[in-house]
Amino acid sequence: MPSPVPSEPSFPMNVSVPEARTMLAALLPDPVAETVAVADAAGRFLFADLEARVSHPSATESALDGIACREADTVTAGPGTPVRLLVVGESRAGVPFAGRVGPGECVRIYTGAPVPDGADAICPVEQLQDDGPDAVHALRPASGADIRLEGGDFRTGEVVMHAGTRLTPARLALAVSLGHAQVSVRRRLRVALLSTGDEVREPGTALAPGQVYDSNRYGLAAMLREAGCDVLDLGHAPDSPERLAERIGAAGGADVLLTSGGVSMGKYDFMRDLLLEQGRVSFWKVRLRPGGPAMLGGWRGLPVFGLPGNPVSSLVVFQVIVRPALTGETPFTLRLRAATPFRALPDKTAYWRGNIEGGTVSDYPKQGSGVLRSLSDTGALVIVPEGRPVQVGEDVEVMLF
């Protein structure tokens, strides 16, 4: 059988990781808006900038339990020289003091309660001694630093979060505090998922020698959901061009299809042949390890990203290329000190699995692209650029996994 790989391919080969991301992102539909209740918005991505509808704090308030008074009255207060102040009222959260604090006066105040007119400082309850019900001794000067100014956190009309921001729990809480009961978020991308391989088996069934459980489809589905996508599970197809084509036909309505396996150089890598012969190819092979054989193309209008079958390769390529394209998020990396050397490859960026400990990162001893434990036992992908090995003690870029 002649090789379906043309000797002079009309598509790019051996693209870089950023090129692969950009090319996949270009095939995805533009974001579509959807309004959801804040209770359902965790993990979603904002469609538009989000403005504050209120100011926070909504009034100038106390950060502590204590008294509100005039700072000038208490400047001489110290452990041996308490200052006596007359208690003229109380301000508590939701029930402010209506009057004004005059010289030598104070009101008892609690965290979050409005600071009354006339007062400009707080003395915490730990620094007070009661002198009967109507007076206190301040044991140290009151401070204006314990007053939270109205709008000090954000003001009405201020853009506080930008379009594309993922609503983490903290950002969701912030959206509520900005005054939103509903938010406009991007419709979830619908991602069809198909694994391939005659040897690949469902969990819960017995394995014959040479067979392997379909770990990729489960791992990838979990990563897709974590990335805020809807998963259309197409199950698993054997290594047969007809059966593959039939399964891909079931991806109707999906925005993109992710496949696992069948894109390498082997005779039975039919995913590759299908796209080469009957579909479109946007690129084949990316300059990274693990995951070099990844392929991008299309099948009758449906964008198709072919992940390699090796378990580490498929999850790493998802994390490094597919996830950023689906979410629009730039992968977060940090720099850590290398506790062991890290090998460089001449023509590929390496994503070695590494263990993080005490501000350093060390090489995991088994880096094979079939060794799933290298991902589960560690927490980091150590990014080693093409041809630039890392010595002990050097700083290296790390992506958390």
Sites of contact with ligand AMP (CB under 6 A):
195, 197, 199-200, 212, 214-217, 260-262, 264, 266, 269, 308-311, 370
Q: Which is nearer to Mg ion, 242 or 347 (CB)?
A: 242
The full DSSP string for 62-82 is ESSSEEEE-HHHHTT-BTTB-
Instruction: Please state, in angstroms and rounded to a whole number, the distance separating the CA atoms of residues 357 and 359.
Output: 6
Judged on CB neighbours under 10 Å (0-12, 13-18, 19+), 137 is middle
Q: Which is nearer to ligand AMP, 152 or 370 (CB)?
A: 370
Instruction: Please state, in angstroms and rounded to a whole number, the distance separating the CA atoms of residues 385 and 184.
Output: 39
Q: Which is nearer to Mg ion, 99 or 238 (CB)?
A: 238
How many residues of this chain interact with Mg ion, rule: CB under 5 A?
4
Q: Which is nearer to ligand AMP, 96 or 197 (CB)?
A: 197
Q: Which is nearer to Mg ion, 131 or 199 (CB)?
A: 199
Q: Which is nearer to Mg ion, 262 or 290 (CB)?
A: 262
| Dihedral angle over CA of 217, 223, 228, 231, nearest 10 | 0
Strands 121-124 and 66-69: antiparallel
- Cβ-proximal residue to ligand AMP, closest one: 309
Rg (CA), the chain: 30
| Residue 327 contact, options ligand AMP, Mg ion, none, Cβ 5-8 Å cut-off depending on partner type | none
- The binding track of 302-341 with respect to Mg ion, each residue x by CB under 5 A or -, is -------x--------------------------------
Task: Say which residues have a Cβ less than 8 Å from residue 281's Cβ, sequence separation at least 6.
Answer: 9, 11, 275, 295, 296, 297
| Residue 73 contact, options ligand AMP, Mg ion, none, Cβ 5-8 Å cut-off depending on partner type | none
Selection from 192, 212, 361, 24 nearest residue 353 by Cα: 361
| Residue 215 contact, options Mg ion, ligand AMP, none, Cβ 5-8 Å cut-off depending on partner type | ligand AMP
Residues 190-249 that bind Mg ion (CB under 5 A): 197
Give 252's DSSP letter: T
Residues 86-115 that bind Mg ion (CB under 5 A): none
- What does the binding site for Mg ion look like in residue numbers (CB under 5 A)? 197, 261-262, 309
